[in-house]
Chain A
Amino acid sequence: MGPMRPLLAMTSPIEHFTSKPLFSVFGLFNFTSHMFVVTLATLVLLVVLPLTFNRRPLVRSGFGNALEAICLYLREEVARPFLHERTDRYIGYIWTIFFFILTMNLLGIMPLDKIVLLASGMRLKHWGGAPTANIWITGTLAFCAFLLFHMAGIRENGLLKYVKDFSPKVPWPLMPFMFFMELVSSCVRMFSLAIRLFANIMAGHILLAALFMFIVIFQNPFAATASTLAQVVMTIMEIFVAFLQAYIFTFLTTIFIGMAVHPEH
């Protein structure tokens, strides 16, 4: 059984990306692997983006140009059709949420825990994972979006008008029901944002783990080769999914902000 234990340990397809406690912080709470990746993503963005955008050349080149192209696309093609002249008021949030989710997705694909383990001489375990495969984290981001689009609606229309226009025009006996339904719909948007991101990222990681397990299960060179090739292909697809899910989250958030800001639409 001894030699098989490492192999059997790998039979849990979610083990490699789920959150694990790393150490206790003043006995209040555990600092988890996902907190570490969230912090790492934050630090990366806090360094890279200001360094990239703090200079103001008329035309950027290289990496700065690539980041600016993404920002420009989000501003002109995603935000402006929904927010019109109010685009620049909310574009900072939209850019932040996109790059935050994208960075966490990409860090989730990277085998950070394995790299840290190797670099630390097998001492530091689980310093990595996929934070966007954590419903608490995606839920928090969705909650921020939920707060933002309601706050934007109140800010742009005033509290009374926003509440008045919150539900469509229906005969007054139906109004309380419709208002309640719209309230539920608003909360459903938040849950849909959270679950969509969480489920997509988690599914990708489970798929990669399942492909990896074929090596363990079959212990066959052909299966190992096929599994490895399939994992490479799926990892490339996961990189694409990382961008796609960040885009979808951002796009939907923008639509919800637009709906709140322009209730007549």
Chain B
Amino acid sequence: MIWRLVFTGLVLLMVLTPIAAVAAEDSHGAEEGQQNNIFIGDFWEAIWTLVAFVLLLVVLWRFAWKPLLGALQAREEHIQRQIDEAEQVRKDAEGVLSEYRSKLSEAEQQGKNIVDQHVKQAEKEAHEVMVKAEQDMEAMRIRLETELEKSRRLAQKELLEQSGQIIFNLGREILGRSIETEDNQRLITDAIDRLEHEQNQQLLDARLPDEEAEEGQ
């Protein structure tokens, strides 16, 4: 832009120099006296300027400055409105953020409570399961022991009966005479009773030290 101005100025100077010289030749003479007065001018120029300026002021005020001011004010209002809206949006966002933070904190607390509750519940259930399992095991152990005892006694009884029968048969073959069936039965029953009595006595003897120890405690 500056180079364009410089170039234009140079061209104008080159072109106008001879023109100015010719023009100066014609103007030289009659007006020479006035040419050296730097305050040259008259009152009519002042009036003309005043009229031009007032006209300019009135017309421009109506057709240039008023629309320009309107545009500037509209733009200012537009910008202000956008700033206000942005401020409002920011405030809303801050409110929402605060609300979500509060909700998040609440949810975290709730989650923690739920986890604690479930852990406690699980621990309780696990404990109950353990207790029940122990009870079942104990019951099963007692039942098995009882069954075992019954089986053992039954086996003993059968063993004694078979032993008696064997002894009876052997006696009959060896002695050559038979013992009466009733005697035989009575002998077997006595033997069984004696055996049971001995066993009960053994059991009683085995339990006594344990009970004395428990009483001691």
Judging by beta carbons under 8 Å apart, are A46 and B56 in contact? yes
Q: Specify which chain A residues have a CB less than 8 angstroms from the CB of B68 in the assembled complex.
A: 53, 68, 71
B194 within 8 A of A: no
Give the Cβ gap from A92 to chain B, nearest Cβ, in Å.
4
Give the Cβ gap from A194 to chain B, nearest Cβ, in Å.
11
Q: A49-B60, A134-B45, A232-B6 are in contact. Are A10 and B67 (CB under 8 A)?
A: no
Judging by beta carbons under 8 Å apart, are A140 and B64 in contact? no
A125 within 8 A of B: yes
Within 8 A of A (CB), among B132-173: none
Give A41 to B32 CA distance when docked, in angstroms: 28
Q: A35-B45, A136-B43 are in contact. Are A15 and B27 (CB under 8 A)?
A: yes
A114 within 8 A of B: yes
Contact for A34 among B14, B28, B32, B45, CB less than 8 A: B45
Type the 1/0 row for A91-116, where 1 means its CB is closer than 8 Å to any CB of B: 11101110010000000000101100
Within 8 A of A (CB), among B173-194: none
Binds B, one of A16-24, A171-179, A184-192, A257-265: A16-24
B9 within 8 A of A: yes
Give the Cβ gap from B33 to chain A, nearest Cβ, in Å.
11
Judging by beta carbons under 8 Å apart, are A135 and B39 in contact? yes
Interface SS of chain A: helix
Judging by beta carbons under 8 Å apart, are A46 and B59 in contact? yes
Q: Specify which chain B residues have a CB less than 8 angstroms from the CB of A52 in the assembled complex.
A: 64
Nearest neighbor of A94 in chain B, beta-carbon distance: B65
Give the Cβ gap from A257 to chain B, nearest Cβ, in Å.
14
Q: A14-B36, A42-B52 are in contact. Are A32 and B60 (CB under 8 A)?
A: no
Central interface residue in A42, A52, A113, by most chain B CB within 10 Å: A42
Judging by beta carbons under 8 Å apart, are B49 and A114 in contact? no
Judging by beta carbons under 8 Å apart, are B70 and A134 in contact? no
B81 within 8 A of A: no
Q: Specify which chain B residues have a CB less than 8 angstroms from the CB of A219 in the assembled complex.
A: none
Q: Specify which chain A residues have a CB less than 8 angstroms from the CB of B50 in the assembled complex.
A: 140, 143-144
Judging by beta carbons under 8 Å apart, are A141 and B41 in contact? no
B25 within 8 A of A: yes
Count A interface residues, CB 8 Å. Answer: 73
Contact for B56 among A42, A54, A140, CB less than 8 A: A42
Judging by beta carbons under 8 Å apart, are B49 and A92 in contact? no
Nearest neighbor of A96 in chain B, beta-carbon distance: B57
A12 within 8 A of B: yes
Central interface residue in B14, B48, B78, by most chain A CB within 10 Å: B48
B5 within 8 A of A: yes
Judging by beta carbons under 8 Å apart, are A56 and B74 in contact? yes
Judging by beta carbons under 8 Å apart, are A53 and B36 in contact? no
A7 within 8 A of B: yes
Nearest neighbor of A25 in chain B, beta-carbon distance: B44
Give the Cβ gap from A1 to chain B, nearest Cβ, in Å.
12
Q: Specify which chain B residues have a CB less than 8 angstroms from the CB of A5 in the assembled complex.
A: 25, 28
Give the Cβ gap from B47 to chain A, nearest Cβ, in Å.
8
Q: Specify which chain B residues have a CB less than 8 angstroms from the CB of A72 in the assembled complex.
A: 72
Give A118 to B69 CA distance when docked, in angstroms: 42
Judging by beta carbons under 8 Å apart, are B78 and A56 in contact? no
Central interface residue in A5, A134, A239, by most chain B CB within 10 Å: A134
B26 within 8 A of A: yes
Q: Specify which chain B residues have a CB less than 8 angstroms from the CB of A117 in the assembled complex.
A: 19, 23
B16 within 8 A of A: yes
14 CB contacts below 8 A, A to B, read A18-B37, A19-B45, A20-B31, A29-B44, A32-B45, A55-B67, A56-B71, A71-B68, A71-B72, A114-B20, A125-B27, A136-B46, A232-B6, A232-B9
Given A9-B27, A96-B53, A136-B45, list of 6 further CB < 8 A pairs?
A15-B27, A92-B60, A111-B16, A137-B41, A140-B50, A232-B9
